[in-house]
Each structure stands twice: as structure tokens, then as C-alpha cells.
Structure 1
Amino acid sequence: MVGVLEGFATIAIIVAVGWLLADRRVLDESAQVNLSRLAFHVASPALLLTVMQRTSLDAVLSANLVTSLISFATVVGVYLVVARIRWAGGSLGSRLIGGLSAAYVNAGNLGIPIALYVLGDVAWVAPTLLMQLLIITPIAMALFDSDARGERPTLGRSLRRMLGNPITLGAVAGLLIAVLDVHLPRVVAAPIDLLGAMAVPSMLIAFGISLRRGPRPAAGHTAGHVWTLVALKVALMPVVALGVGLALGLRGQALFAVVVTAALPTAQNIFTYAVRYRREVNLARDAIFVSTFVSVPVIVGIAALFHAFAGV
């Protein structure tokens, strides 16, 4: 359990730095936007390239990957149905932010330490990371770009948007390097690693600024929407992952891994996307903030149950 608490504490401290900088008026809303732009256009693509080129494809192409994909699709589907009933209207971008907030897990800066300390191996979180980076993110980016331009999404336009999006390009470049077994010279790899290291701090500091300068989280008329997203993320998604994993024959540590991964909170990436495309910024921020706190006892409870009944 120490790994779980360390992962959450690291995030909380960096977010607090952003909050303090905003409170002392060192940084303001323009800094929040600029940090998000830096993360979106430069740091995140570099980080994704680094992560993907070091990910073993043999470790991720498994039932774990299928379970993650089905769990994601199921929760997004449930959200879209609920949103159509309770929050009619809204743009495609707004629905995308809601769907991603409900199902896109923090598999990077939280998932990796939790996989290492709770699951015992970072490889357990790799399938979800791969699914989100190479399947979900390119599709979402293409749809966001179409929505921002007021265009009707088509296959041709979506493919062009995917190939022109920095997030997608970074992930695809990393995958190609891994598949082709290319070894980048140190003079090229070192700057990429350094740029990638800015991604998570930039996103978290921007998030902290938003918490200080924006409205109180999960307050007012959006509270019901936020708590619906949190319930889908940290309650429904692990249950779906458990059912799908059992149906696919996963047992023991493999099943434990997919359930814990599904219970991770909403990723900070979604806040960056919301700022970049100016869609539901406060909703994304609040879903991330609340789900992060709620997921702590949920993950601890899942670990206790598996330890007691499955001997994991």
C-alpha cells in the first residue's frame, strides 16, 4: 500500500505547487494555458515516444489489452446514454471530455508506480497504456479537431487529423522505433527524454493553477455531472473489468491487475485536452480532482479483497 500512497502524494505535492504559485500571483490563467500548450505540443509527444519505444509488445498484446478496451468502451457507452438523458445538447467536444473523464485512466504517472509497488511489475499497466495511446487518443484527437473546426467527422478527415496531431505522432513514432528495433543515438535520445520529463509536471502545475483560480471543485450546477463521472470511473469501470476479465479467463494476479488499473482515477491528460480545445475545462478538472481522492480507498479495498479471497 506504500506505493499507492507514494504515487498519490507525488501528484498532490506538484498540484499544490501550482496552487501556491497561483495564490502568490506568480502564475495566472495565461500560464495555465501556456503550460497546457507546452504539454500538448512538445512535452507529451516526447514522453509518449519515450514510453512507447521502451514498451515490449509481447507483454501488452494479451487478454489484458482486450479487457481494457472493452471496459473503456462499456463505460463510455454508459456515460453517453446517461448524458443524453440528463444533459441533453452539448457539442461533440463536450461529450468527448465527459466520456474520457469517465473512462481514461491515469496509467502513466499514477499507474506506473502503482503497478510497480502494488502489482509488482510495470508490465501489468502496459496494455492499458498502449490501448489509450495508440487506439483511444488518436481517435479522440481526430474528433476534437473536427469539432474545433466545425466539420462533420469522416474517415478521411479523421485519418488526416490523427497524422497531424502531435500526441498521436509521438506515440506512433515510439511504436515504430520499438517495432523496427531502432536505437536512437544519445545526442537525439537525451533531449527527447528531457522534454518528455516536463510533461507530467507541466500538466499538474497547470491543474493546480486551475484549482486556485477557477470555481470550487464539484460545486454548483455541475456537481451532479462530476459525481456521475466519478462513479463511472472508480466504481463501474473496475466492476466491468472484473466481469470481462473473468469471462476471458483471467485469474489471480492478471485479474487483480486489470481491476486495479480500471480503478485508477481520470488522467490529467484530459484536463490538457479540455484546455487545448476549450471544452468543459472545469468539468474535466473536477472529475480528475475528485476521482483521484476517491480512488485511494477504492484501490486499497480492491487490494484487500484480492488478498483475502484470491491469495494475491
Structure 2
Amino acid sequence: MTSTLWQMFALIACGAAWRCARPAGLSAEQTRTVLTTLVYYLLLPALVLEVLWKADVGLHSLQYTLFGAVCLAFGMLGIWTCGRLLRFEPPQMGAVLLAAVFPNVTYLGLPVLEQAFGHWARSVAIQIDLFAVAPVLFTVGIAAARHFGQNGDSVRQPVGSFLTTPPFLAAILAVILNLCHVPLPNGVASVLQKLGAGVVPLMLISLGLALSWGAVTLRNLPHVAPVILIKMGLMPLFALWFSQYLTLDQAHKNALTLEMAMPCMVLGIVFCDRYRLDSALYAMSVTLSTLLSLITLPFWHRVAAGGF
């Protein structure tokens, strides 16, 4: 696991180096926007279609959804309680809620799970993202951001807006084709595989582009500490306990537990900017949790596998 993470972080470091060097005068924000747009609208849907079309999709997939929803609810309750006790201001409360609750299950989780468990784990990462994390993020997460934020969208997105996102539409199509036993043509599979092969390196480079040492300040440390405690400690511990009540095999339970141990998702910075939450606080949470995951992910991987 440690060697796998170092390989992942080598690509993340490429993104961080780009942020400092600004080749061709392109800023990190400009480059990341292009990369994430390409991945989100073309490469990731291709990967989702290719993986879920051939995956073992069934009633066990509902357990992924239940597992993800319950773990996110636990994280939300924990950070809300901390915020109330520590008297966080609304902009800080909204930022830490997004940071503590939603893990980076795709940008980092997908490549880590694939390297740690094998190709079959890609299906786990994609399903828990599209059928658990994304629906909660685009409903409860946005509602919380609006509640704690100062201003919202001039045109509010409908609650079910995630249903029209390219990866989700690709997932629905793939599941339908899968359940109808439609064979995946070799030519189509080859094209999808070539497109999907770009997802992991570009996502990791994009993650490196999002890391910002300028956001790491002592002023934000009291707000970030509860996020790190919940995200990197309590949430995976709860996931490890709750996974024992699932009827999945141990390998799938371990993969699910590791997903809940992932650092803060990068997408949350978009909602912080949109709803006037504390974006610097969120950026610091992403940076520190991502770096700490070099230590915490191998730890939780060993714990889940019974190594301690």
C-alpha cells in the first residue's frame, strides 16, 4: 500500500510542481479547470460505462449505497456537533461540514483501490461515488452550503441536478446494458478503455494542482483539527465497524472502509466559492488531509485487513 501511494503522490507532485512553475504562463486554476472538465465530461463517463457494463451489478450494489449514506450521516453529525461546541461562524461551519463529510472517493480513491485490490475495485469506487456520495453531496451538501453561506446561485439548481451529470448518465446506461445482458462489442470496449486510461493520471495531477500551501495558516488550525480527526480517524473507524453488518465478502468490506478513509474531496472548493463559505479553510483541509493520507491510508488498510 505504501509503495502504491508513493506512486500516486508522484503524479500529485507533478501537479503541485506545475502550480509553482506555471509552464507557458498557465496558472494552476486554468490548467485544473481544463483537466477536470475533460475528465468529467468525456474520460470519466467512458470509464464508468466500460467498468459498470461488465461489472457484477446487483442487490449488493444497494449495500454500497446504504454504507456510503450511513457513513456520511455519521460524519455530518460529528462535525456539526464539533462546530456547535466550538462555536464556529457560519462560513467556517459550512466549509468544515463539506470537508469532513465528503471523501475523495474518485480522484484519489479510484486509483488507490485499483492498485491495492485489483481492477474489480474500480467498480466499488465508481458505484459508491455515483450512487451514494454524489447524491448526498448534490442534495444535503448543497442545502447545507446554502444554509451556512452568505449568497447562493442567482439561478438555483434543482435538487436532482446530479441525475443529469455525464458520469451518472453513463452509469445508468451501463447498468441498464449490464442487467439486460447486452454484450460489450470489442471495438467499443477498446475505445472506452483508451479513454478511461487517462482518468487516473489526469485526476491525480489535477489533485496536485488543487493543493495550496498558501492556505495553510495557524489561524485555521482550530477549525481544521476537527475535520482531520473525523475524516482521517473517526469516519474510517465507524466504517470499519458498520461494514461488519454487510453481507459482502471481506475484500469488498475492506475496499469500502478504505474509501471512507480518503481525504477531503477537491470538488467542495467549488461550493465554498459559490456560497461564500471559507474557501481558504477548505483548501487547507484538502491539502493537509491529502498529505496525511500517506500515513493514514496504509494504517487503515492494515487495520481492515486484520494486520493489527
Give TM-score, length-normalised by structure 2: 0.74
In the alignment, residue 264 of structure 1 is paired with which amino acid? M
Instruction: State the secondary structure of the residue aligned to 1:169.
Output: helix
Using the alignment, how far apart are the partners of 1:121 and 1:244 within structure 2? 23
Using the alignment, how far apart are the partners of 2:88 and 2:76 within structure 1? 15
| Residues 145, 124 of structure 1: alpha-carbon distance in 2 compared, 3 angstrom cutoff | closer
What is the CA distance between 1:189 and its match in structure 2? Answer: 3.9
| Residues 9, 304 of structure 1: alpha-carbon distance in 2 compared, 3 angstrom cutoff | closer
Describe the superposition over 1:237-277 as per-residue Cα deviations: whole angstroms up to 9, x where unpaired: 12212332345688966655544443233345556776899
Using the alignment, how far apart are the partners of 2:258 and 2:197 within structure 1? 25
Q: What's the counterpart of residue 174 of structure 1?
A: 174
> Is the deviation greater in 200-209 or in 23-32?
200-209
Describe the superposition over 1:54-87 as per-residue Cα deviations: whole angstroms up to 9, x where unpaired: 3312484375653343122211232234345543
In the alignment, residue 33 of structure 1 is paired with which amino acid? T
CA contact (8 A) 1:71 1:237 kept: yes
What is the CA distance between 1:152 and its match in structure 2? Answer: 6.5
Describe the superposition over 1:6-58 as per-residue Cα deviations: whole angstroms up to 9, x where unpaired: 33122211122122233332131322322233333333333333333233124
CA contact (8 A) 1:274 1:280 kept: yes
* Cα RMSD, aligned residues only: 4.0
Instruction: State the secondary structure of the residue aligned to 1:286.
Output: helix
CA contact (8 A) 2:257 2:304 kept: no
Q: Does structure 1 residue 149 correspond to structure 2 residue 147?
A: no
Instruction: State the secondary structure of the residue aligned to 1:20.
Output: helix
Using the alignment, how far apart are the partners of 2:64 and 2:285 within structure 1? 25
| Residues 44, 248 of structure 1: alpha-carbon distance in 2 compared, 3 angstrom cutoff | closer
| Residues 302, 41 of structure 1: alpha-carbon distance in 2 compared, 3 angstrom cutoff | closer
| Residues 42, 281 of structure 1: alpha-carbon distance in 2 compared, 3 angstrom cutoff | farther
In the alignment, residue 88 of structure 2 is paired with which amino acid? W
Q: What's the counterpart of residue 197 of structure 2?
A: 197
Q: Does structure 1 residue 158 correspond to structure 2 residue 159?
A: yes
Q: What's the counterpart of residue 90 of structure 1?
A: 91
| Paired positions, count | 297
Q: What's the counterpart of residue 149 of structure 2?
A: none
| Residues 79, 55 of structure 1: alpha-carbon distance in 2 compared, 3 angstrom cutoff | farther
Q: Does structure 1 residue 41 correspond to structure 2 residue 41?
A: yes
Q: What's the counterpart of residue 228 of structure 2?
A: 230
Q: What's the counterpart of residue 78 of structure 2?
A: 78
Using the alignment, how far apart are the partners of 1:254 and 1:234 within structure 2? 20
> Is the deviation greater in 22-31 or in 229-238?
22-31
Using the alignment, how far apart are the partners of 1:88 and 1:210 within structure 2? 25
CA contact (8 A) 2:228 2:289 kept: yes
Using the alignment, how far apart are the partners of 1:200 and 1:56 within structure 2? 22
Gaps of 5+ in 1: none
Q: What's the counterpart of residue 14 of structure 1?
A: 11
> Is the deviation greater in 55-64 or in 221-230?
55-64
CA contact (8 A) 2:11 2:204 kept: yes
> Is the deviation greater in 143-152 or in 254-263?
143-152
Using the alignment, how far apart are the partners of 2:115 and 2:202 within structure 1? 25
CA contact (8 A) 1:43 1:199 kept: yes
* Map 1:229-308 → 2, pairs under 5 A: 229-246=227-244, 256-268=254-266, 270=268, 282-304=280-302
In the alignment, residue 183 of structure 1 is paired with which amino acid? P
Gaps of 5+ in 2: 147-151
Instruction: State the secondary structure of the residue aligned to 1:61.
Output: helix
| Residues 127, 31 of structure 1: alpha-carbon distance in 2 compared, 3 angstrom cutoff | closer
Using the alignment, how far apart are the partners of 2:107 and 2:252 within structure 1? 21
| Residues 247, 22 of structure 1: alpha-carbon distance in 2 compared, 3 angstrom cutoff | closer
What is the CA distance between 1:235 and its match in structure 2? Answer: 0.3
CA contact (8 A) 1:59 1:126 kept: no
Describe the superposition over 1:111-144 as per-residue Cα deviations: whole angstroms up to 9, x where unpaired: 45655665x5655675564232123313433577
In the alignment, residue 237 of structure 2 is paired with which amino acid? V
| Residues 292, 187 of structure 1: alpha-carbon distance in 2 compared, 3 angstrom cutoff | same
What is the CA distance between 1:172 and its match in structure 2? Answer: 2.3
